[in-house]
A = this chain, B = another copy of it.
Amino acid sequence: MTETAAAAAAIVAIGSEMLGPLRQDTNSLWLSARLEELGIPVVRKSVVGDDPALIAEELSFMARSVRYVFTTGGLGPTADDVTVAAIAAWLGVRLERNEVFLEKMRHRFARRGFEMPACNAKQADFLAGAKVLENPRGTAPGFWVERGGVEVIILPGVPSEMREIMESSVLPVLLERAAGVVGRRRVLRIAGMGESAVEELVAPVYAKWKDDPVTILASPGEVQLHLAVRGAPDAAQAKLAAMEADFREVLGPRIFGEDAEDLARVVGRLLRETGRTLALAESCTGGMVASLVTDVPGSSRYFLGSVVTYANAAKEGLLGVDPGILRAAGAVSQEAALAMARGARARFDADVAVSVTGIAGPDGGSAEKPVGTVHFGLADRGDAAIGKKRLFGGDRSVIRRAASVQALELLRRYLAGQETPA
């Protein structure tokens, strides 16, 4: 093991299903981001099936070149969950049934009115001598073991459980050890602009910082700039701040948030800060905007509700949209969007309401209103309102997603005072 390699990590995803065409390991993406921040490069990743012999071979191979091996998956109750048994064999330690933990599991099942299935008992078999990593979100705990200077961190495959264990029990320890070199990363998030439009704006800044990796990533409705630097903590922080300042100068209020702060959270914060309530009226997005808004814990404090009106009769009956508008301009029109927003605002007695109506495809498009045409409306307690029209590319799911993001971006700009009703 070389000096450089001493700080490196490898990630092994365990599960036969991830060797087929239908499922992919995604835990390693999150893990490598977190490890990178601590200056621990991931030098190998692999997927191996639910086979104790193959798992042991994989660990032996990985252990030759890294200090840390992270495994994910195979901690469940079923017959093909073999990770703990395989690693016990690899380490040459025995499994010890933890009776206290077993009792706790039985209690948890009983509380929900079930008897614990017999197969779950094996989740109480702990690796002798291992540090147990508590799992607040699920049944199976993780483990942290050491063999010949290589540390193996055993994590569940369920992403939320894996993340929680890392955040609470693993990353704090690694952070303490990192001491010297760290990685620092900042994500700047922009909605309502295309990738090339963002790229044109930031080209000069890009050129200035060309020695540090800046990546542009696009997803439906959103563009992200990923800035990353490595170095001593203070120097890395200072450099990242300077880079960020340069990018913020050219992008200004187009940036809606940073890092993990998504648009629904930003909008939620702005609504809470200004003490306003929200209602929605959705057609082509079919509940996706409401679903994004209510993904945020505590959203019941500002979100009153939404009416999803796929049928025209519902637009009239539930939102009070004038049938004349639907006949003359059509359900996908600026007039209909504004009437839907006004109707939702009134029905829910909300401070502000946003509407979306459009053609997500694959059918329903015309020369005049092609698939991807989407109208947005915003109404508040005043008489005025905001209307917007966009034409999105992509398939049904991309159009729906992009339209949902755009609806939230319209609301954000209104709440931030960047758009005023006319």
Q: Which residues of A contact B (CB under 8 A)?
A: 15-24, 26, 29-30, 32-33, 36, 41-51, 54, 57-58, 61, 64-65, 76-80, 112-113, 117, 119-120, 137-138, 160, 185, 187, 195-197, 199-200, 206, 213, 215-218, 226, 228, 280, 282, 284-291, 293-295, 297-300, 303-311, 313-314, 317-318, 347-349, 361-364, 391, 393-398, 400
Contact = CB atoms under 8 A, between A and B. Distances in A.
A-B pairs with lowest CB-CB distance, top 4: A286-B294, A287-B290, A287-B287, A21-B33
Most buried by B among A15, A294, A305: A305
Contacts of A218: 76
Contacts of A57: 61, 64-65
B112 A297 contact: no
A226 B308 contact: no
A108 to B, nearest CB: 8
Contacts of A21: 29-30, 32-33, 36
| Copies of this protein chain in the complex | 2
Contact of A307 (B119, B226, B288, B308): B308
A348 B314 contact: yes
A291 B286 contact: yes
Given A44-B47, A47-B46, A286-B293, A305 B311 contact: yes
A305 B310 contact: yes
Contacts of A300: 310-311, 364
